[in-house]
């Protein structure tokens, strides 16, 4: 059977991200976007003059790419402003890989920046400043009945998982504990102190059964990745990280319309990404999973096939996600402890690339050759999975 035409046709060749232990960054959103683009291009050994494709999601809607390109002096021949929340950037990579393989672009930059913590400190609305716009399902059905968003939506999924499969708060808490072990090795992480399961359960309940330490941070953050063809990647500054496969699936907008609260579109996105890559969950050395909440991680592990449906609680309780574990996960500290500026998906890609390039320092997973970056957007609404590989996997 011949390889899929998208398998390893493109590569991530430059990455950059910005986070700080204070949770805040200097500069405006547009300044941070420009800085990330410059740093990611420098990492690749490229310049703005090489860029002919731009993918961006900064809340500006249809004008996001237009305004960013104007500021940067670019006239891209390929553009993408897809907005699915935290999974947008995995979708951008999927789209960019297809465009590059078809010759529609040669060098694409994917970028994101947001400063909700700084905005709140300055008297702004932080996340609350994001307009819902018009009559939405959430406004019509969820909020009037007192559902606290977004954590209330995830609490519904967690509660259903508890009901159907006997998952315990202790098992969910173990995800936060293991993630914090990685954050302890990341000097830029917001939260680095070790925690225990008891610490998680003693933290305030935000939406039962989720405690505060089951929930992601609210910080400033920014990041960018640069992609190009496999042929051009071979001559650039850093080892190529090949896009082996990608898949996307969205199943609902409002949590009240989610077909099954214990199963996400990751079943489809993961299956498609692994099919194109010609690999399976057993081939993966490191996973970067969107961790807006601990339940998000547990559902992703099941839906991507790392354990069977309903067995996620027992699976994580054995400690596979921690340093030295069987399935190292969220190796920079994740959205639970590293940074989370509202849409975390760009950081999944950056960390996966660094792991495959052997650049993660104290938190490097030895011999990592295959990584998965799995984004989640909305309220478990839009899933996108990218399988990445080193030269050894090509």
- At 375, which helix (H) or strand (E)? strand 370-377
Pick the closest to residue 2 from 387, 390, 276 (CA basis). Answer: 276
CB 319 within 8 A of CB 325: yes
Q: What is the pLDDT of residues 312-324, one digit of tens each?
A: 999 999 999 999 9
Confidence check: pLDDT of 125 > 80 = no
Q: Which of 112, 154, 242, 290 is catalytic?
A: 290
**Displacement of CA 16 from its chain's centroid (Å):** 14
Query: pLDDT for 99-109, tens place per residue?
Result: 999 999 999 99
Determine which one of 112, 154, 242, 338 is catalytic: 338
**How many Å apart are CA 112 and CA 271, to the nearest integer?**
27
In this structure, is the dihedral angle defined by the CA atoms of residues 314, 315, 320 and 326, taken in order, positive or negative? positive
Q: How many CA atoms lie within 13 A of 204 on its CB side?
A: 2
Mean pLDDT of 23-41: 97
Alpha carbons 372 and 349: distance in angstroms, whole number? 8
Please list the alpha-helical segments (H only) found in the chain.
29-44, 64-72, 88-101, 116-121, 137, 151-165, 169-183, 197-202, 230-233, 266-277, 294-303, 312-317, 345-356
Distances (CA, A) of 84 to 109, 213, 327, 376, 380: 18, 25, 27, 8, 11
Between 51-55, 61-65, 137-141, 324-328, the lowest mean confidence (pLDDT) is in 137-141
Active site annotation includes 242: no
Q: Is the pLDDT of residue 134 over 60?
A: no
- What pLDDT is stored for residue 123 in this prediction? 64
Q: What is the DSSP letter of 392?
A: G
pLDDT (0 to 100) of residue 140: 72
* 290 is annotated as an active-site residue: yes
- Across the range 49-60, mean pLDDT stands at 90
Q: Above 80 in pLDDT, residue 11?
A: yes
Query: What does CATH list as the number for 10-120+216-393?
Result: 3.40.47.10
Q: How confident is the model at residue 131 (pLDDT cuts 50, 70, 90)?
A: very low
- Reply yes or no on whether the pLDDT at 339 is more than 50: yes
Judging by DSSP bridges, how do beta strands 10-18 and 53-56 pair with one another? unpaired
Residue 373 scores a pLDDT above 90: yes
Q: Mean pLDDT, to the nearest integer, of 117-126?
A: 70
What is the predicted pLDDT for the residue at 146? 76
User: Would you say 185 and 162 are in contact if contact means Cβ atoms under 8 Å apart?
Assistant: no
Domain boundary assignment for the chain: 10-120+216-393
At residue 313, the 3 state secondary structure works out as: helix
Percentage above 70 pLDDT, the chain? 95
Mean pLDDT of 210-237: 97
Mean pLDDT of the chain: 94
DSSP string computed for 315-351: HHHT-TTSTTSSS-B-TT-IIIII--SS--HHHHHHH
pLDDT at residue 1, as a whole number: 67
């Amino acid at each position: 059977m011949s390889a899929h035409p998208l398998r390893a046709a493109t590569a991530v060749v430059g990455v950059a991200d910005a986070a700080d232990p204070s949770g805040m960054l200097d500069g405006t959103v547009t300044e941070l976007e420009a800085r990330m683009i410059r740093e990611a291009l420098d990492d690749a050994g490229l310049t703005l003059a090489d860029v002919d494709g731009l993918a961006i999601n900064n809340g500006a809607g249809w004008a996001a790419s237009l305004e960013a390109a104007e500021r940067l002096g670019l006239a891209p021949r390929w553009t993408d402003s897809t907005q699915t929340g935290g999974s947008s950037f995995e979708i951008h990579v999927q789209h960019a890989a297809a465009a590059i393989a078809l010759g529609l672009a040669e060098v694409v930059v994917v970028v994101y920046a947001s400063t909700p913590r700084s905005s709140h400190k300055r008297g702004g609305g932080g996340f609350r400043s994001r307009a819902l716009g018009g009559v939405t399902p959430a406004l019509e059905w969820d909020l009037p009945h007192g559902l606290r968003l977004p954590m209330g939506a995830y609490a519904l999924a967690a509660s259903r998982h508890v009901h159907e499969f006997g998952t315990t708060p202790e098992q969910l808490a173990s995800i936060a504990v293991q993630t914090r072990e990685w954050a302890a090795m990341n000097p830029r992480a917001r939260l680095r102190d070790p925690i225990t399961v008891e610490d998680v359960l003693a933290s305030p309940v935000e939406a039962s059964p989720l405690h505060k330490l089951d929930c992601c941070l609210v910080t400033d953050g920014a990041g960018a990745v640069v992609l190009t063809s496999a042929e051009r990647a071979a001559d650039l500054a850093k080892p190529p990280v090949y896009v082996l496969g990608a898949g996307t699936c969205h199943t609902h907008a409002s949590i009240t319309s989610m077909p099954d609260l214990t199963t996400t579109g990751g079943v489809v996105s993961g299956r498609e990404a692994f099919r194109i890559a010609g690999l399976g969950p057993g081939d993966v050395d490191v996973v970067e999973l969107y961790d807006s909440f601990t339940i998000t991680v547990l559902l992703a592990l099941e839906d991507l096939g790392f354990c069977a449906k309903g067995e996620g609680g027992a699976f994580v309780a054995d400690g596979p996600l921690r340093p030295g574990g069987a399935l190292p996960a969220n190796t920079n500290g994740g959205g639970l402890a590293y940074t989370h500026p509202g849409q975390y998906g760009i950081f999944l890609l950056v960390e996966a690339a660094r792991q495959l390039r052997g650049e993660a320092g104290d938190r490097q997973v030895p011999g990592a050759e295959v990584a998965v970056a799995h984004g989640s957007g909305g309220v478990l609404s839009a899933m996108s999975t990218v399988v990445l590989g080193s030269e050894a996997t090509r």
